[in-house]
């Protein structure tokens, strides 16, 4: 009887299968590294920003300016977030917006709501809104309705190192002046500057520029018919109150804000509240 030949089931080459698997894994590893090395950084930032927004964390600075809500430009950016007890929580659509139930039945609040809607409509009717949509931000706060003219990368509202506005900035201020003149609420104008990046030279004294731009904006509104006694304050804040605290160096922190103040209209002389 012939003897059976001894031999492995793989013809004596079982190690080759393991070696091939190892090479395949190494190849996949290096392909993955090569793919990450050529990653489009802008797309990666967009994906990272979307993930942060989805999970309630917003550490990515927004360079795109504003979005529209109900046809009105507003800044969709989480700020002034506070931890409040459950009994004081509310379903406010945006942080910092006054809760309308707190002023329900108030004549002053109703008057401000009408004034706010009138100013928003005036902004929507301006033809410059479409061109400057990224430079105009409208938001409601507890102080009132803010209309901010902000800088964007490559498109500023004021000349570098100057308090004089560009023609497009002047047109926006002249466009809202007639509406502010017709309303009874007082107005405040505030100038802001961005922080200077380390190693860069400032465009000028931050306090002087922010205050000077606010003064010039008030002058344009005054020339448009807003009386002097309607201005509650004209101030410069330098870089002390950035719009984006997580990145105080970006251009959007440079802005001039015109605030229609949320307060009851002044009483006539001789009358008591």
Q: Which pLDDT belongs to residue 207?
A: 94
- Helix H or strand E encompassing 148: strand 144-150
8 Å CB contact between 175 and 222: no
Q: What is the CATH T-level fold of the domain 65-76+95-261, as seen in this structure?
A: 60s Ribosomal Protein L30; Chain: A; (3.30.1330)
Q: Which pLDDT belongs to residue 255?
A: 93
Q: What are the mean pLDDT values of the chain's consecutive 10-residue runs (273 residues total)?
A: 53 74 88 71 67 57 42 46 56 46 52 77 75 80 88 84 90 89 90 89 90 94 92 94 88 91 66 56
Q: How far is CA 15 from the centre of its chain?
A: 61
Q: Residue by residue, what is the 3-state secondary structure of 170-199?
A: HHHHHHHHHHHHHCCCCEEEEEECCCCCCC
Q: Which pLDDT belongs to residue 28?
A: 87
Residues of the chain with CATH 3.30.1330.60: 65-76+95-261
8 Å CB contact between 249 and 194: yes
- What is the Cβ-side half-sphere exposure of residue 18, based on CA atoms within 13 angstroms? 5
Q: Which pLDDT belongs to residue 103?
A: 40
Read off the pTM. Answer: 0.58
Q: Which pLDDT belongs to residue 65?
A: 42
């Amino acid at each position: 009887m012939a003897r059976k030949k001894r031999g492995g089931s793989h013809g004596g080459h079982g190690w080759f299968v393991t070696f091939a698997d190892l090479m395949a894994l190494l190849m996949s590893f290096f392909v993955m590294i090569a793919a990450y090395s050529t990653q489009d950084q802008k797309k990666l930032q967009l994906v990272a920003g979307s993930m942060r927004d989805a999970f309630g964390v917003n550490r990515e600075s927004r360079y795109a300016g504003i979005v529209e809500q109900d046809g009105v430009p507003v800044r969709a950016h989480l700020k002034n977030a506070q931890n409040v007890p459950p009994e004081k929580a509310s379903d406010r659509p945006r942080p910092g917006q006054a809760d309308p139930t707190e002023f329900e039945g108030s004549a002053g609040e109703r008057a401000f709501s009408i004034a706010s809607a009138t100013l928003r409509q005036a902004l929507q009717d301006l033809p410059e809104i479409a061109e400057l949509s990224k430079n105009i931000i409208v938001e409601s706060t507890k102080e009132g309705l803010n209309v901010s003219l902000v800088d964007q990368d490559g498109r500023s509202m004021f000349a570098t190192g100057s308090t004089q506005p560009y023609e497009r900035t002047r047109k926006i201020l002249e466009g809202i002046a007639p509406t502010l003149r017709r309303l009874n609420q007082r107005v405040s104008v505030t100038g802001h500057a961005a922080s200077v990046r380390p190693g860069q030279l400032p465009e000028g004294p931050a306090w002087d520029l922010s205050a000077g731009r606010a003064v010039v904006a008030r002058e344009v509104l005054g020339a448009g018919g807003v009386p002097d006694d309607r201005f509650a304050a004209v101030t410069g804040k330098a870089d002390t109150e950035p719009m984006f605290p997580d990145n105080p160096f970006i251009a959007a922190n440079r802005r001039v804000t015109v605030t229609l103040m949320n307060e009851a209209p002044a009483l006539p002389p001789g009358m008591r509240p």
